[in-house]
Copies of this chain bind each other. A is one copy, B any other.
């Protein structure tokens, strides 16, 4: 008897949450990855005409026993209960970033998944950007001297009406900022930890609209990050790495690689296709992938940060 990939049936998958990221990324990527067959949706407010829809994940799990994998793209604050339900029902689980509202709760999910023998995949979509693995390869044996992260975007453009990002557990500007942290923790050859942080919190909000985070690698190299959600005009998602080799510059959130000033890679966005391909691979091999170092850095930043109150933020897409 032989095993061939051609004979493998696609995995029936349930998508939980049907917001912006689900519609813009998860649905088209699932359509392009033959390892999965989108079989059902769970969403409080939305449905798709072509698929069975359920008001919540528990209804989906109960009604769709052949759905063996679920992908959660709901806000992080309620994701633990959903993931715990799915794992408890013996389903494989893929988590949108950030994987939860705390490091401890995702560690708890990882322990549950181990006990149940199912796959847990805590995704970091920016790690799947086109140039990230090549940057990692180029830096693998380098002595890093300085890293600069500049992550500046317009929250009104990218997150209209997303009130949960301002709520406790919503991370504020670290919601995009954690993408940068997921990349640096992947490309740098040693671990890093925060030294100091300043969070600028609008006086009418719980979460920061801007932040400075000073970190250091295990080898003592400074890693300086500037996150700002008030950037109009050109948007910036850059990571610059100085070392004993040529300067490495990742731009566009990891889609572009410049080496010593020359553009080496500039590729189309296939992050979510890669995530789903990786999820299929993890399921097939019975493995999990849960690296919480980006969320740990954010939790640590919140722990040791100085907070400053700044001007109130009003979302034009929300009433009030």
Contacts and interface: CB of A to CB of B under 8 A. Distances in A.
Interface of A: 77, 80, 101-105, 107-108, 111-112, 168-169, 171, 191-194, 196-197, 206, 218, 293, 296-300, 302-307
A163 to B, nearest CB: 14
A166 to B, nearest CB: 11
B218 A303 contact: no
B306 A104 contact: no
29 contacts: A77-B304, A80-B193, A101-B303, A102-B193, A102-B303, A102-B304, A103-B103, A103-B296, A103-B300, A103-B303, A104-B193, A104-B293, A105-B193, A107-B191, A108-B193, A108-B218, A111-B191, A112-B218, A168-B305, A168-B306, A168-B307, A169-B304, A206-B306, A206-B307, A296-B299, A299-B300, A299-B302, A299-B303, A302-B302
A194 B304 contact: no
Contacts of A300: 102-105, 299
A194 B297 contact: no
A129 to B, nearest CB: 24
Nearest to A105: B193
Contacts of A104: 191-194, 293, 296-297, 300
Contacts of A307: 168, 206, 307
Nearest to A101: B304
Given A168-B304, A306-B206, A103 B299 contact: yes
Contacts of A297: 104
B168 A107 contact: no
Contacts of A105: 193-194, 300
Nearest to A199: B168
Nearest to A308: B206
Contacts of A305: 168
A194 B299 CA distance: 13
B108 A191 contact: yes
A303 B303 CA distance: 7
Nearest to A174: B303
Contacts of A298: 303
A95 to B, nearest CB: 15
A206 B201 CA distance: 13
A186 to B, nearest CB: 16
Contacts of A293: 104
A193 B105 CA distance: 5
Nearest to A169: B304
Nearest to A304: B169
A5 to B, nearest CB: 36
A108 B221 CA distance: 14
B168 A218 contact: no
Contacts of A194: 102, 104-105
A306 B169 CA distance: 8
Nearest to A196: B168
A193 B99 CA distance: 14
